[in-house]
Structures are given as C-alpha cells and as structure tokens.
Structure 1
Amino acid sequence: MADVTETKREHNCHEDPHIFASVDDNTVREDKSRRGDEVISVLVLESIEKDRKKVCPLSFNCSIYRVPNPQFKRKPEAYIPRMVSIGPFHCDKEHLKPMEAQKLRYLNDFLTRSQFQATLENYVNVITELEDKARQCYSEIIQESKEEFVKMMVIDGCFILELILKITNDDPDMIMNTPWMFYFIKYDMILLENQLPFFVLERLYELFTGNSNSNGLDTLIFSFFQILVPQSHSITPESYQFRCSEVVEPFSKAAVASTIRPHHLLHFVRDLFLQTSSGRWRPEDPGPIMSIHCAIELEEACVKFEKEVKKKTCLLDITFQNGVLEIPTITIQDGTESLLRNLIAFEQSSSVYKNYITDYALFMDDLINSATDVELLQKKGIIKNWLGEPKDVAALFNGLLKDVTTGRDYFYNVRHELEKYYETPWHKWKASLMQKYFNSPWASISLIAASILLFLTVIQTVCSILQVT
C-alpha cells in the first residue's frame, strides 16, 4: 500500500506533459505575433515614408486645381476637355488621344518656325530646369515620371504657342479650316483642369524669340482670346496690362512678386474680364451679401435699366444712380456657361483669388428669376442672347452658383442702394401711376383730358361762388 501511495504521490508531483506543450505553444505564438507586428510596422513605416516623399509641400506656386467635386457633379461636361488634353489631369482620356498626333505636327511646325533656330534640345533643357517648379503648380500628386512630365510640358506648350501663332499669321491649317474643331479647342484651353503653368509658355516663347520681354506673348494671347471676353471691343493690346493685386497675407514678398504675372491661360482670360480701356476695374469694398428683387420687380418700382455705353466698360462695371441701373452688355453663347463656370471654380480654389466673377454671377442670378426677366434685359440691350430661348439664359444664370460658397459681396453698395430705392413707397406709386395711365398714348390723352375737364370744373365752381357773393 505504501508503494502504491508513493507512486501516486510521485505521479502527482510530476508536471503534465500536455501542460508543458500548451505553455510552449503559447510562447511561440506570442513571439511570432510580436515579430509579425514588428515586420508590419517596418513595412507600414517604409510605405508611408515612400508616399510622403512623393508629396511636395503646397506653396504659392499652386494654381492649377481640380474643380470642386460638388460643382463638377452638377455639370461635368463644362469642365472636361472635348478635343485636346493640356497638362496631366486629362492626358489619359481615350477620347482625347487622336489630338496627340496633331500636337506633334504642331511641334514640328513650331521648330521649323523658330526664328532664332532654337532646337528641340534647347526647349527640353529649359523645361527640365523648371520641372520641380511646374509640378508644384498642380494641386495633386503628378504620377508621371520626370521624363514623361517634361515631355508633356514641351509638347503641350509648343502646341499652344504654335496654335496662337497660326491664328496671328493667318496660316492655313486643318484646325483653322475646321471651325467646329477650332471652337472646341479654344474653349478646352481655358478649362481649369486643362492648364499649363504660364511661366512654361513664357520660357518657351523666350527661347523662340530670343527675347525675355513678355509683352509680345501677352499681345498674342490677348488677340487669341479677346473674342471670348464680353467687353472685348473696349480694350486693346496696348491698354491691357496684367496687374494682379490679389495676394493676401501670410504670403511672402517673393510670393507677391511672382503674382504680377498670370498663373495660366484661364487666369489671363479672367484678368481680361477685369480690364477697361484705361486700366483695371477698381471694385468697391465688399460688404455682406444681401438679396435684391428681380428685374421685373425692380422695374415695377420705377428702376430704369440701361446698358453701360462708356468706352472704358468692364463687364463688372455695374452702377446705380438716380434710379438708373447701368449694366454692361454680355453676349450669351454656347461656350459662355463653361467659361463662367471655370472662372468661378478658379476663384473657389483659393482665397488668394477674389470672388469678382462669382459676385457678378450672383448679381445676375438675383436679377434673373425667369424668362420674363431675361426678355426685359434683352430689350434694354444688357443681354445679347445667341444661346436660344430666354428660358435657357435664365437656367444658365440660375444654375451657376449651386454648391458654390460665397463670401462678402463686391456689389454690396449697388445692392444696398437698389433695395433702398425699391422700398421707397413713392417709387412704387409712381410706377403704378405710369403703368395705369401712361402705358399707351390713348391712356395718356384720356388722363390729360380728364385733368383739363377737372381744372375747368374747378374754375367754373370758383366763378359761380364769386358771382353769388
């Protein structure tokens, strides 16, 4: 018995081998898990470091943006190029591939045209030097390699310059001889997402001419895009001067100096909207946004509408004095909506760019509630409608600012004076009187006759009283 008991005791004193195995397995699993976590941490760290190095810090050079997504979804066709891709954002679109061969033909023509015998190697070398600066102009990471990016800048830049030179020199060409193609390409060149940094064009043109003076390029671009600007008849290449005063703190002096020149072709066209024959448009100080009544309602309060006829007219030169609202004439055609939408998207991209065009669109949106308002503005010469029915123009202005953020309004003073005038009771009474009694010659004659009759009746009554006394 003693032996059996001792044996049992000895057996109980030994560790169970299954328990040993369980402890060893757990330890191994924990070690493997720990080593796995360490490996994952290293891989994640390396991946983040790799991605982090791809991203350039945003700087004052950033000026070519994607259209804000809510605006893009409203009308994608207003922002996507239809014929030609410029820059990296749309270079992979299949429907734009056919123009790539035409770009190379234009490159050949440009190299042949080069009056100072600049070679393709010269153009590639100068753009290679600008590659980092050009990349920083785009708001997204550009996936193209250094080689692909420089190639794109050279080919697209030379295409733009050659196209403008062909127009200036009236050179016969497939694009020039196909009006619909030229029309689409011109509007493609001023889409926000379809831009090259302006300094790329300047540097290529400087090599082409052997001259660092940018006035020649400005004149060419001005002539090319002038027809798109509503007040184009009132400005000339001689009167045009790009002066950007839109730099805000905390930008450095270097940034201020760099903004004297346009950032790209859309920026250039926007500045044309702000030009008059005597210089840049000078906006009033902005104020809080306040609503105004539509054109028909304002007319019912005796507001007179007139088109601005001064030679120095700027599209934004809207004034209200002595009951007269003067608005420069705007021509509405097929490409107008796309142009205005891209200008507004550009202003929405950064607080550096003041909301001049946005506030103009907001003012016109408030004036136009229906086709009837458009008909009134057409009759007054303020709107030239080449688009179609008045309802189409009303839909254009009423849809421009959906999902657009607006801030302080540069037309605040005009709005304030309009509403003050509208709220004056006498103006409504006067308008009602004019509408009721002077809306036709016969109504006017009837009113005059009634007034004369009343006057004679009063005289007769007075005379009768005097005779009695």
Structure 2
Amino acid sequence: MEHSYSSATVPLSSSARGWVDRISSIFRNEIAVDIDHLPPVSVFEVPKTLSLQKPDAYTPQLIAMGPYHHLRPELYQMERYKLAAIKEISTPEQISNFQRIVINRLKEIDPSIRACYNKFMDYDQDTLAWIVAIDGCFFLHILHSYLVQDETTDRRLLDNTIVTADIMMLENQIPFVLLKEVRKSLQVSPKSNDQGEEDDIELISMLFQFCEAQSPVKFSIDKTNQVRYHRPLHLLDMMYHMIVNVPGCVVSGSLENSPIQLVPTFTEFRNSSTSSYSSSSTDNEDPDVAHNNLEALLDLVETIGPTRIQHVLRPVKVVSSIPWSTISGLYRKSDLGTGEQNSGHGEIAIPSVSHLWRYAKVQCKPFIGSIKEIKFVEEEDALYLPVMNLNASSEVITRNLVAYEAAMYNSTLEFARYVNLMNGIIDTAEDVKLLKQNGVIKGALTDGEIADQFNGMKRCYAGSDHKSNIEVAVEKVNKFYGKKLLVRTVRGLKKNLYASWKCLALVSTGALLVVLSLQTFCEFYQCHKLWNFHQES
C-alpha cells in the first residue's frame, strides 16, 4: 500500500511557523520598499578567520551596541546604564511616550535598519526597534558627554578604555542614518529642512569630537570646514576617512561583504612548523636551524659515545659554540631591506627604525596629517610619518579599522599598507624608543608594549594595481639604504659568511663521522693492543 507524504500531512512546528510568519511579513513589507533608497550595508560581521586570532579585539567585552551582540546575557549588566542614559537625554514626557515616538517610528523603517547590516537578523520588528532605540540613545548620551564636558559630566565611561574599545568595534557600530532617526524622534516638534541640516551637522560634530580624541593616528582637519564633508556611515567610517583623508568627503562608497585576506606575521611564521621553511629553496635556509641541529647532534654523540670521544669532540664543539645566530642576525633580509616584497611571511621589506638610523642615518620625522602624506625625502635623510597617540584601546581600534577597510568595495587598502609599514619598521622596543624620541609615537604605553602590539598583528594582504605613496616611500628608502657602503659591505659579508658556514657545517659533520667511525673500529678490533704490540716489537 502506497503512502502519500504531502506537506499537508506534516504539521509545522511552532518555531518553523513563527519563522514562516516573519519571513512572509518581511517579504510583504520589502516589496513596497524602493531598493535604491535603502542605506548601504555598513556594519559587517568580522570573519571567523580573523576574529579567532584575537577574539577580544572584535567582540565587545562590556557594552553591546546594535543587534549583533545586544542579546548576549553576559553583557546585560550594562542595561541599567543604558536606561539611565535615556533618562539623561529625554524629558519625562518623551519617556512616557517612548513607545509611540521612538519605537513605532523605527518599526516603520525596519527594512532600512536591516539593510545596514550584512548579517541576517532573526528578530521581529518590535525587538529590532527596541535594540536600535536603546543602544542609539545610549550612544547619543556618550557623544553628548564628549561634546559638552563640565562638572556634571560622568567621566567613568568616558575614561574607560574597555568602553572606548567596544564602541569602536566594527560589529558594534550604530549607522548614522539610524542614529539620526533616534535623535529626530526625540525632538519635541518637527524640524524644517534647514533645521534638520543643522542637526546633522551637530551630530557629525559629536562623532568628529570622539574620533579626534580616540584616533590612534592624529589627523589635521579645519573644524570650521567640517560642513563640507558628507555624512559618514558610522563612527568607525568617519575615523577611517579622517585618517586616510579621502578628499572631499568622509563617506565611503557602496560596500559589500568581501573576504578579508591575511597572511601570517613574520614572528608567527618563525615560531611555526619548520615545514614552511623546508619548502623553500636551500639558499634561504635558516642558519639558526642548521646550527641548532649540529649542536644537538654533538650533544647526543657526546652522551652515548665512549668517554674518550669527548677529547675528540672538544675542538668541533668550540667551533659550533660560536654565536652564529647573533652574527647572522646582523644580515637578515628584513633588517637590510632589499626593496622586494617577501610573499613567504608577509613582512614588508624595509629596515627597522634602529637599522635605518644605525647604518644609513635615516631619521623618522613626525607630521600631523593624512597617511597619504607619508614620504621619504632623500635630501633630508628623513622618512616622514604621521604622529600616533597610542593607549590601551589603540590596538582594538587599529584592528577594526583594518577589518572595515577590507570589507569596503573596491578598496585600495591604504590603511592596511600603513599598518604593514609600521609593522615593518618596528621590530623591537629599541625601534619604539627612537620613534618616541623623534615625536612620531606618543602615549602612556611602554616601548615593549607598543612593539608587541605591532608585532602581534597580522600582516594584511595589500596587493593592488594601485601604487600608493607608502609603497613609493618604501622603495625610495630601500634604494637609499642599499647605496650605503656599510650596508653593501654587510650584504657581501652575509653572502660569503653564509656560504662559508654551510661549508664549515659540512666539513665538521664529515670530520665527526670519520672520527666516530675510527673510534668504533678501534673499539671493536682493540687497536690499542695492536699498537702496543708493534711498539714492543
């Protein structure tokens, strides 16, 4: 007997029915929406390949802003602060009519809210409207506190680096269009077009104030001309464009959720499996690896071999104990800077700050402005870099700026190139110390903390047909550096020393094997008895 399994005979579960109802409702609502008038996607979910490397840099630790993290139970402790913030910026009448004047308005623009986020949000209109309203009001309170700081201002949140880092995270951004709607809903009376324009300018000024205070790279913009700049997509978008300084506006173009491409740092590559090294040519073999292998072999033979073998091995061990790693460290490719991009580990090929000064007397000089003004002036022996003011939240902000730039459509990755440059010239605390002495880096962080901060970041893939001013500066630095007599001498020594070291290691290993073979032969055939017999004869 045949059975029919039609959909009518299989009832939907309550959760499935709820999903169907929500999807059909969204579908009906969006049919009537003009797609051309929807805001661009501007808030992206950071890919797992990036967030897993350092989750704390992309996931809020204290404050959830927007639908991606608002309903995380571990962040509920800040809800009472958010509600208190609403009372600070609202009148009693507005609070009593909050549902009507704010929530209902946001429910009307539900398609526009969802269009700002690249991640599908399985929330109904009411839930999403409440999330945007509460977080939007809280963010407006934070911005107002930055704009008007007096004796009544509560600075506990303003001075909290965790709060600052959370607000600047890509997944925590509140789009400007939604922030404007929340702010407009709280107005007592409707505004004219001119008044609405003034409100936008005031909101942009508050965002600018926050960016200026927290940006890791100091930018210089005439505040009187801020009105010339278009409306940003959100706070992180404004900071990005102020640093990169796209002429004429601070608003990015259309965006899409393109993948973020990364390559490992030099430090991580060096500490990873040696299989990556072994795949390269023998000319690039690490002298440290060969030296360590030989030393381990000598120790093993000395331990398990006959006692008298120690006397034979002593000269060989003296040779192996020479600090070849320290000597060869003077001639690393990353230190000398060949001017070529090493695709193996992503380390930008430019000498460190200390090597630039020590071997070529090249000094890093500060300026306040866009990263597009980075340049190398050969006549002054100077590499001009923008001033950085680094604090405990700077790494989080920098990482999220890189992530946001990578998600932008048709981006030239200007900021990623800048981060790669700083990663390349900062290797140790000594490099940071020189940059501080020259005024390029400021802030309360120690030299070691800043060096670790840059060396711990992933090098971002910044390949493009477009050659930026940063790449031009790097090429000029490497060319100037390579002309120095001391550098050319060291490079020649490196080539000859490396070849000599390989021959020395081969000869030492061969001599060791011969001695071991002879020792084993004599032990087996009792050569000392034969030697004594010949002497007696």
For normalisation by structure 2, the TM-score amounts to 0.60
Partner of 2:56: 77
Residue 345 of structure 1 aligns with an amino acid whose one-letter code is A
Pick one of 205, 209, 212 that aligns with 2:183. 205
Matched, 1:263 2:233: yes
1:152 and 1:349 mapped to 2: Cα distance? 24
1:123 and 1:37 mapped to 2: Cα distance? 45
Matched, 1:176 2:165: no
| Structure 1 residue 341 displacement after superposition | 0.6
Helix, strand or coil at the partner of 1:307: strand
Deviations 1:355-398 (A, max 9, x none): 1221110011111122222222222221225222x232122112
Residue 365 of structure 2 aligns with an amino acid whose one-letter code is K
2:474 and 2:178 mapped to 1: Cα distance? 42
Counterparts of residues 347-362 of structure 1 (less than 5 Å): 347-362=405-420
CA separation of 1:429 and 1:353: change in aligned 2, threshold 3 A: closer
Counterparts of residues 105-116 of structure 1 (less than 5 Å): 105-112=84-91
Helix, strand or coil at the partner of 2:131: helix
Partner of 2:72: 93
Deviations 1:119-172 (A, max 9, x none): 662333432232111111111111211011111111211221122223433366
Matched, 1:339 2:309: no
| Structure 1 residue 109 displacement after superposition | 2.4
Residue 63 of structure 1 aligns with an amino acid whose one-letter code is S
When Rg is computed on C-alpha atoms for both structures, the one with the higher figure is 1
Pick one of 205, 217, 220 that aligns with 2:206. 220
Runs (5+) with no aligned partner, structure 1: 1-27, 244-259, 282-287, 433-469
1:139 and 1:42 mapped to 2: Cα distance? 32
CA separation of 1:427 and 1:61: change in aligned 2, threshold 3 A: same
CA separation of 1:399 and 1:351: change in aligned 2, threshold 3 A: farther
Matched, 1:274 2:276: no
Counterparts of residues 36-185 of structure 1 (less than 5 Å): 36=5, 50=20, 61-112=40-91, 121-170=100-149, 176-178=154-156, 182-185=160-163
Pick one of 189, 196, 203 that aligns with 2:167. 189
2:248 and 2:97 mapped to 1: Cα distance? 35
CA separation of 1:231 and 1:337: change in aligned 2, threshold 3 A: closer
1:304 and 1:239 mapped to 2: Cα distance? 36
CA separation of 1:158 and 1:385: change in aligned 2, threshold 3 A: closer
| Structure 1 residue 74 displacement after superposition | 1.2
Matched, 1:235 2:292: no
| Contact in 2 for aligned 1:239/1:279 (Cα 8 Å) | no
2:80 and 2:69 mapped to 1: Cα distance? 16
| Contact in 2 for aligned 1:84/1:96 (Cα 8 Å) | yes
2:486 and 2:409 mapped to 1: Cα distance? 40
Deviations 1:290-333 (A, max 9, x none): 62222223224425223234xx6235531101232111221221
Residue 176 of structure 1 aligns with an amino acid whose one-letter code is D
1:184 and 1:147 mapped to 2: Cα distance? 30
| Structure 1 residue 193 displacement after superposition | 0.8
| Contact in 2 for aligned 1:188/1:194 (Cα 8 Å) | yes
| Contact in 2 for aligned 1:292/1:419 (Cα 8 Å) | yes
| Contact in 1 for aligned 2:389/2:443 (Cα 8 Å) | yes
Partner of 2:481: 422
CA separation of 1:38 and 1:181: change in aligned 2, threshold 3 A: same
| Structure 1 residue 203 displacement after superposition | 2.4
Residue 227 of structure 1 aligns with an amino acid whose one-letter code is A
Residue 80 of structure 1 aligns with an amino acid whose one-letter code is T
| Contact in 1 for aligned 2:61/2:162 (Cα 8 Å) | yes
Partner of 2:281: none
1:280 and 1:136 mapped to 2: Cα distance? 22
| Structure 1 residue 103 displacement after superposition | 1.4
| Structure 1 residue 218 displacement after superposition | 0.9
CA separation of 1:167 and 1:425: change in aligned 2, threshold 3 A: closer
2:140 and 2:456 mapped to 1: Cα distance? 34
| Contact in 2 for aligned 1:302/1:430 (Cα 8 Å) | no
Residue 377 of structure 1 aligns with an amino acid whose one-letter code is L
CA separation of 1:169 and 1:99: change in aligned 2, threshold 3 A: same
Residue 178 of structure 1 aligns with an amino acid whose one-letter code is R
| Contact in 1 for aligned 2:364/2:382 (Cα 8 Å) | yes
Residue 231 of structure 2 aligns with an amino acid whose one-letter code is R
Partner of 1:441: none
Deviations 1:73-116 (A, max 9, x none): 1111111222221111111222311211221222222221999x
2:77 and 2:228 mapped to 1: Cα distance? 35
2:150 and 2:441 mapped to 1: Cα distance? 34
Partner of 1:467: none
| Structure 1 residue 431 displacement after superposition | 12
Residue 224 of structure 2 aligns with an amino acid whose one-letter code is E
Pick one of 461, 465, 487 that aligns with 1:405. 461
Deviations 1:264-295 (A, max 9, x none): 1111222232349x9779xxxxxx96622222
Deviations 1:193-243 (A, max 9, x none): 112221011223345563211111111221233211245473343244675
| Structure 1 residue 423 displacement after superposition | 1.9
2:457 and 2:116 mapped to 1: Cα distance? 26
Counterparts of residues 241-252 of structure 1 (less than 5 Å): 243=229
1:400 and 1:40 mapped to 2: Cα distance? 56
Matched, 1:395 2:452: yes
| Structure 1 residue 336 displacement after superposition | 0.5
| Contact in 1 for aligned 2:360/2:484 (Cα 8 Å) | no
Residue 340 of structure 1 aligns with an amino acid whose one-letter code is T
**Which stretch of the first structure deviates more once superposed, 262-271 or 289-298?**
289-298
| Contact in 2 for aligned 1:274/1:314 (Cα 8 Å) | yes
| Contact in 2 for aligned 1:307/1:327 (Cα 8 Å) | yes
Deviations 1:232-263 (A, max 9, x none): 473343244675xxxxxxxxxxxxxxxx4322
Matched, 1:330 2:388: yes
Runs (5+) with no aligned partner, structure 2: 251-339, 342-347, 492-537
Helix, strand or coil at the partner of 1:189: helix
| Contact in 2 for aligned 1:118/1:207 (Cα 8 Å) | no
2:157 and 2:7 mapped to 1: Cα distance? 64
Pick one of 363, 367, 373 that aligns with 2:425. 367
For normalisation by structure 1, the TM-score amounts to 0.68
Q: CA RMSD in A?
A: 3.8
| Structure 1 residue 36 displacement after superposition | 4.0
Matched, 1:320 2:376: yes
